[in-house]
Amino acid sequence: MIYLVEDDESIRELVVYTLNSQGMEAEGFGTPSDFWKALENKVPDLILLDIMLPEEDGLDILAKLRKKSDTKNLPIAMLTAKGSEYDTVKGLDSGADDYIPKPFRMMELVSRIKALLRRSGKTGQADKEYSIDGLYVSQKKHQVKVGDREVVLTLKEFELLLLLLSNPGIVFTRAQLLDKIWGYQFDGESRTVDVHIRTLRQKLGEAGRYIETVRGMGYKIGGPS
């Protein structure tokens, strides 16, 4: 199930119709209050959020979703008419997993939704665990701990950390990270990667030092110093 929060009725109906026609169950909401009521009954697999909404700003909704235990790891994409690099970075830095400026092409939207769902971790695969000193990561549980402290990451932040941990010592350029994690390119791509690395380090605290910057190249996971 995919939830769409969009106050423009024509866009809302078109997106819901397109997703349903592509075999994906979707439901649209014109107001945040209707969305919150539906969320009490059923947690979807993915949420599409407009930013400029009546009653409540989309970024405020995003912040609340990231604080709730049942939605903190849910894939969330922002749909908005604000398409500048600043707005894109702000949306991603606030915890969004994707940022899709309007107007968008419907099949591109479908493709990016499918990519997010594929990366959401619902694969039933065997668990892979990684540990560096006090940093512990479980792929299957989507769990990150630094010592006894549990760290809450967005889907993209988690994927970045997992990719680096599974390739210790390997340097990934920003373009490689964008391709492997996002699967597409857009304006301001290097900035997007840098923002995610920065917030990831901040959330990891002392363990953030394991994510090393290789000047002129990119990023890698290093060992304990």
Q: What is the pTM of this model?
A: 0.57
Residue 206's CB is within 10 A of a number of other CB atoms, namely 11
pLDDT score, position 89 = 63
pLDDT score, position 110 = 87
In the predicted model, is pLDDT for residue 180 greater than 80?
no
Contacts of 44 (CB under 8 A, 6+ apart): 1, 2, 3, 27, 74
- Compute the average pLDDT of residues 135-142: 85
pLDDT score, position 144 = 94
pLDDT band for position 166 (50/70/90)? confident
pLDDT band for position 141 (50/70/90)? confident
